[in-house]
Homo-oligomer: A and B are copies of this chain.
Amino acid sequence: MAQNKIGKQSFHPAEPVCISNWASIAGKKEAEGPLGHLFDLTDTDTKFGEKTWEQAEKKMQQLALQTLLKKANLKNSDLDVVFSGDLLNQCIGSSFTLRNTGIPHIGLYGACSTMAESLLLATMTAGGGYADKVVAMTSSHFASSERQYRFPLGYGGQRTPTAQWTVTGSGAALVERKHGTVELTSATVGTVTDLGLTDATNMGCAMAPAAFQTIRAHFDDTHTAPEDFDLIVTGDLGSLGKEVLMYLFRKEGISIGGKITDCGNLVFDAPKQDVHAGGSGCGCSAIVLCSELLSKLQSGKLKKILFCGTGALLSPTSTQQNLPIPGVCHGVCIESRR
């Protein structure tokens, strides 16, 4: 068997891999939320000085990358590869960000699991000696998502109580092939899991079975249990999806309640900010990770977390064709060496 594979879905890096720097960019509503003071840069202009929301998303990724490089005292040419993706059709947020930068780029599509997916591949790549400096990055934007997936904003459509609010933000993490204070120690590749839910306004619940499958696989593969982690952080299940996830664990007789937290719940004060079931979008788990979570790992307040990005792999076309909503969840275990 492959020597760095663990169990059925997991692996550890062949050599030590750390997250040495990170950056987060966020919009106005996110700045007003509970983590607002932790983001590197926020803007009250929803277009970030650009002409369109799609270009604003590109701008946020550019700012995330620039901020990250500045913190790390690096330039574009020091990077070996950037793994990134976003929610826009054909991932134009990512490709226009990397355009003519000269940085090798691998484009991903994992819906809102992208931050975990890119970190997982960065772990593999740096840990396998294929690269020294890798960036994992993603973004999402409330307005570009609303018009692409749901309704034009000007239409003023009602939001269901189960709906989540797409985060406007971008997060980027620098993964390096060396020991560090914050290390990526294992990862679990998700399977596409679908229990047949079709309500595109309740994606948290549609993604919960995928999160359950991946977290369960991580425990099995790495011989760990909930008590081995300070936190198990899901990407953006929101309040309803989180309940389903906890129900699935209870049904299996696994006590996980106190360990689970969700980026969609952390990023907004849901009742006060009127975001219904919580935050969502690739940018949601990205900016929560690249602010509060990594800082707490850096300072040693958190010792070991399982960061699980969750993605709903639907499209407006699949919804119109009455197809269910497949989910995926990728997990990376991040540990503090402080």
Seen from chain A, the residues whose Cβ lies within 8 Å of a Cβ on chain B are 1-5, 8-9, 11, 14, 51-52, 54-55, 80-81, 85, 87-92, 95-96, 98-111, 117, 120-121, 124-132, 177, 189-194, 313-318, 321, 323, 326, 328, 330
A136, chain B: closest CB distance, angstroms: 13
Can you name 17 A-B pairs with beta carbons within 8 Å? A3-B129, A4-B130, A11-B131, A14-B14, A54-B318, A90-B315, A92-B313, A92-B317, A100-B193, A101-B191, A101-B192, A102-B191, A103-B191, A105-B191, A106-B110, A108-B108, A124-B130
A102, chain B: closest CB distance, angstroms: 5
Q: Which residue of B lies closest to A149 (CB)?
A: B90
Q: How far is the CA of A313 from the CA of B105 in the complex (A)?
A: 12
Q: Is the CB of B105 within 8 A of A91?
A: no
Q: Is the CB of B109 within 8 A of A107?
A: yes
Q: Is the CB of B328 within 8 A of A92?
A: no
Contact of A192 among B98, B124, B177, B194 (CB under 8 A): B98
Known: A5-B130, A89-B317. A96 touches B323 (CB 8 A): yes
Q: Is the CB of B2 within 8 A of A105?
A: no
Q: Is the CB of A313 within 8 A of B131?
A: no
Known: A105-B189, A106-B117, A321-B54. A14 touches B129 (CB 8 A): yes
Contact of A104 among B4, B95, B191 (CB under 8 A): B191
Known: A90-B315, A100-B193, A126-B2. A121 touches B95 (CB 8 A): no
This chain: copies in complex: 2
Q: How far is the CA of A271 from the CA of B318 in the complex (A)?
A: 36
A237, chain B: closest CB distance, angstroms: 18
In the complex, given contacts A90-B315, A106-B189, what are 15 additional A-B residue pairs having Cβ atoms less than 8 angstroms apart?
Answer: A54-B321, A85-B109, A90-B111, A90-B313, A92-B317, A98-B191, A98-B192, A100-B326, A102-B191, A105-B189, A106-B108, A106-B110, A124-B128, A124-B130, A128-B129
Contact of A317 among B1, B54, B192 (CB under 8 A): B54
Contact of A121 among B52, B80, B99, B106 (CB under 8 A): B106
Q: How far is the CA of A244 from the CA of B154 in the complex (A)?
A: 44
Q: Is the CB of B105 within 8 A of A5?
A: no
Q: Is the CB of A177 within 8 A of B2?
A: yes
Q: Is the CB of A117 within 8 A of B107?
A: yes
Taking each of A80, A89, A121, which has the highest tally of chain B beta carbons within 10 Å of its own beta carbon?
Answer: A89
Q: How far is the CA of A131 from the CA of B4 in the complex (A)?
A: 8
Set of chain B residues within 8 Å of A317, measured between Cβ atoms: 54, 88-89, 92
Q: How far is the CA of A121 from the CA of B189 in the complex (A)?
A: 14
Q: How far is the CA of A40 from the CA of B54 in the complex (A)?
A: 41
Q: Which residue of B lies closest to A105 (CB)?
A: B192
Q: Is the CB of B99 within 8 A of A194?
A: yes
Set of chain B residues within 8 Å of A326, measured between Cβ atoms: 95-96, 98-100
Q: Is the CB of B5 within 8 A of A316?
A: no
